[in-house]
Amino acid sequence: MHVAIDAHNLLTDERGIGVYVRAVTARFLQRRDCSLTLLVRGWFPARKHARLASLLGSDDFEVAAHVPRKADVTWHPWNGVFFEGPAPNAVTMHDVAPFAFPARDPRRRAAEQEPFLRSARIGRRFAADSVFTRAQMGELLGIDPELVAVVPLAADAAFSPGAFAAPPESLRGAPYLLYVGAVEPRKNTERLAEAWRRAFPRGGVRLAFVAPHAPDGVIALPALDRSALVDCYRGAIALAFPSLYEGFGLPALEAMACGTPVVASRRASLPEVCGEAALYIDDPEDVEEIAQALRSIVEDAALRTRLREAGLRRAATFSWERTAQETFAMIRSAAS
């Protein structure tokens, strides 16, 4: 089977979606029952072959700017469809945030939603990161749940327990709570920052965001490589993740894999990811409830130990091998 893969963001996307596409595509390249064409934008697409090969650990693929006629199926792993061609289409959707949290500006809203609408129109089979996302796809996009396979993500092997080896200088000298992800309303970061201030009015426990920017008083750690991110997880008292909306919640899984306790909202996909291995916030819109959870995780060593052990067991049930196999099965179904 010849699979064309939308790889237009493969070299640059450092979000969870980029992690997923690179992990799965690298495993597809190890299969003997398929060949791949990676779809990129711009003139002279073949010039990107060497960089893609270095990233994926194999050069056994072609590169093109259009879906080739020999393709049996095209896989669109970035939520939307950005390349169209004659082959049937398989689509992975990680969330439907532009519909759950639509932009106020009509032009921006239309631009954000159109790739999803195109996916819903032309997709033959779909994968969703969670049961929650599959339900959202049906409710907000009208996609038949029978056409959607639930395929969870995973954490790279680098995310594992170990010593806090080389923390960034700004994290040295005092305990800290960690947040990893975008800074935007659906991530609930403003309430998290306010809850941290309430929980520790005299200081003593810092809050760090692995993000380009952070609220006042919060440490911002932009552009960390994977090794530094692992160290940040390992050194944290806990991951604070009171998000209002997640299609999966990869930081929670990465933290558990590192042996770091997780404080998470009981919303969206997070209970699917964390199971019984998190301290849950039932109402993440209640700043005081978030503050109480932060105080609990800092003050209760036995709770942290229990969540660490439960998190390691939970994280071990996810693997990129399983993700790649189930994604490939969905793509094969679309092709046939």
What are the structure tokens assigned to 17, written together? 């979606």
Name 74's bridge partners: 4, 89
Name 78's bridge partners: 80
How far apart CA 20 and CA 25 sit, in angstroms, is 8
pLDDT recorded at residue 165:
65
Q: For strand 206-210 and strand 176-180, is the pairing parallel, antiparallel, or unpaired?
A: parallel
Rg (CA), the chain: 20
What are the structure tokens assigned to 250, written together? 């990869």
pLDDT recorded at residue 222:
84
How far apart CA 38 and CA 22 sit, in angstroms, is 12
| Burial of 122 from C-beta contacts in 10 A (0-12 / 13-18 / 19+) | middle
What backbone phi and psi angles, to 5 degrees, belong to 108? -65, -40
How far apart CA 81 and CA 289 sit, in angstroms, is 40
Count of CB atoms situated within 10 Å of the CB of 315:
24
pLDDT recorded at residue 166:
67
Cβ(279)–Cβ(303) under 8 Å? yes
How far apart CA 251 and CA 194 sit, in angstroms, is 21
pLDDT recorded at residue 136:
97
Grouped pLDDT means (10 residues each) for the chain, 336 residues: 96 89 97 96 90 94 95 96 94 96 95 95 97 97 97 95 75 90 94 98 93 91 88 95 97 97 98 98 98 98 98 98 98 95
Cβ(268)–Cβ(244) under 8 Å? yes
- Find the distance separating the first CA and the last CA of the chain, reported in whole Å: 10
May I ask the CATH architecture of the domain 169-315? 3-Layer(aba) Sandwich (3.40)
Side chain identity at residue 238, one-letter code: A
| The CATH number fitting domain 2-154+319-335, selected from 3.30.200.20, 2.40.30.20, 1.20.1440.230, 3.40.50.2000 | 3.40.50.2000
Predicted TM-score of the model (pTM) = 0.94
pLDDT recorded at residue 298:
98
Q: Where are the domains of the chain?
A: 2-154+319-335, 169-315
